[in-house]
Structure 1
Amino acid sequence: MELFLLSNGKLSGEAELLGYAKSQLLAMIERRKITSAVLIPYALIRSDYDQRAQDLAQTLGIKVTSIHHAESPAEAIAQAECILISGGNTWMLNQMLHEKGLIVPIQRAVRERQVPYIGWSAGCNVATPSIRTTNDMPVRNSVVLPALGLFPLQINPHYIDAHISGHMGETRDERLAEFCAVNPSESVVALREGSLLHVSGNELHYFSAKQQGFKVFRHGVETQEYHDTLALRPLVPFTCH
């Protein structure tokens, strides 16, 4: 299994989509001799699906086709060399994955056929067991929480621990601590902008374009910042480096 779980699509001032992870993605594409990818763009609400596909094709140097053109979305996944899941609204994305019957086809493609999965922001969220740790608003009345479960822990993309002057609501740390208090058996990995988790086979690696760490939230355990995945070794079934 190969997963690239990115916190976000672009860094501030960066023109190229997925530019901060481009070297890692191109290395994987070359190693696996990938020539095309299927984009799942359902998280996009105010952006054009085909334009997103073009942007990704420019970054990755391969043919990228949006799944909304497929007569059978499930068959498109069954034939895919690589799966790209865009950021946007996580609630919309997860609902559409269920409505289009794509949960099991994606799971089988990634786990059985070893198709690489690249997801950022919302696409990162849906790779986890559920979307309960997304930052997005539930913009649709029908809500589905279970997601793909490709990665065993919850992730909070776009994590920020800055204190905004005048903001009187709960901080992100407080919200994640609340999640763990309600769900004491679960853990949350908080990924800052410009960072990613890479699962390759049975290995797990962490990368940050800004040389920043990630945090792990667990009930009853002091939250700390880490710069490598050794802290996740007791929590995930991968060899951490």
Structure 2
Amino acid sequence: MELFLLSNGKLSGEAELLGYAKEQLLEMVARRHLTSALLIPYALIRSDYDERAQELTQTLGIPVASIHHSSSPAAAVEQAECILVSGGNSWLLNQQLHENGLIVPIQRAVRERHVPYVGWSAGCNVATPSIRTTNDMPVRNSVVLPSLGLFPLQINPHYIDAHISGHMGETRDERLAEFCAVNPSESVVALHEGSLLHVCDNALRYFSPRGQGYKLFRHNTATQEHQDTLALQALVPFDCH
């Protein structure tokens, strides 16, 4: 199984989609001899699906087709060499995955056929057991359905630890601590902008071009920033050694 779970699509001032992870993604494309990729853009609300596919074609150097052109989304997933899941709204994305019958086909593609999965923002959220740690507004009257569960821990993309002057609501840290208090057996990985987790060949790696760490939130455990994956290795069922 190979996963690229990215906090976001672009860094501030960066024009190229997934540019900060381009080196790792191109290495994967070359290593796997990929000739095409399938985009699942259901999270997008105010962006064009085909424009997003074209951006990814330029980044990856291989043709990227959007799944909305397929008469059978499940068949498109079954034939895909690589699955790309765009950012946007996690609630809408997860609902569309269920309504189009794609949860099991994606799980089988990634786990059984070893099709690489690349998801950023909302696409990162749905790779976890649920979307309960998304920052997105529930724009539809959606129940919190299970998501893909490819990665065993919850992730909070776009993590920011700043306290905005004049803001009287809870900080992100406080919200994530609340999640862990309500769900004491679960852990949350908080990813700053421009960072990613990479799972490949039973190894787990963390990458940040800015040199920032990630935070791990657990109930009744002090929250710390980590630069390596040692803190995660005890929590995920991968042999990372």
* TM-score normalised according to structure 1 size: 0.99
The question of whether the paired residues in 1 share the 8 Å contact of 2:43 and 2:86 is answered with yes
Shift of 1:239: 3.0
Cα displacement (A) at 1:200? 0.1
d(CA) in 2 for partners of 1:59, 1:202: 26
Equivalence map 1:19-34=2 (5 Å): 19-34=19-34
Amino acid at match of 1:194: G
1:95 aligned residue: 95
Structure-2 separation of matches of 1:124 and 1:145? 16
Contact map agreement 2:91 2:140 (CA 8 A) in 1: yes
Q: Match of 1:198? A: 198
Cα distance in 2 for partners of 1:209, 1:6 equals 12
User: Which whole-Å CA distance do the structure 2 matches of 1:193 and 1:153 have between them?
Assistant: 18
Q: How many Å separate the matches in 2 of 1:195 and 1:145?
A: 26
Same amino acid, percent of matched pairs: 82
Corresponding residue number in structure 1 for 2:135: 135
Contact residue 38 and residue 80 of structure 2 kept, 8 A = yes
- Give the number of equivalent residue pairs: 241
Match of 2:148 in 1: 148
Paired residue for 1:51?
51
Return the alpha-carbon distance in structure 1 between the equivalents of residues 134 and 40 of structure 2. 18
Partner of 1:163: 163
Give the equivalent residue in structure 2 for 1:233. 233
TM-score scaled by structure 2?
0.99
Q: Distance in 2 between matches of 1:233 and 1:40?
A: 29
Unpaired stretches in structure 1, ≥5 consecutive residues: none
Structure 2, gaps ≥5 residues long: none
Give the aligned partner of residue 216 of structure 1: 216
SS at match of 1:141: coil
CA distance in 2, matches of 1:35, 1:196: 24
1:153-208 CA distances to partner (integer Å, 9 max, x unpaired)?
00000000011111110000000000000000000000000000000021000000
Q: In structure 2, how many angstroms separate the alpha carbons of the residues matched to 1:108 and 1:144?
A: 22
Determine the structure 2 residue equivalent to 1:117: 117
Alignment of 1:1-80 (within 5 A): 1-80=1-80
Residue type at the aligned position of 1:99: E
Match in the other structure for 2:187: 187
| Structure 2 residue matching 1:12: 3-state secondary structure | coil
Structure 1 runs of 4+ with >2 Å offset: 142-145
CA contact (8 A) 1:70 1:76 kept: yes
Structure 1 residue 73 displacement after superposition: 0.2
Letter in 2 for 1:40: I
Asked whether the 8 Å contact 1:132–1:145 carries over to 2, the reply is no
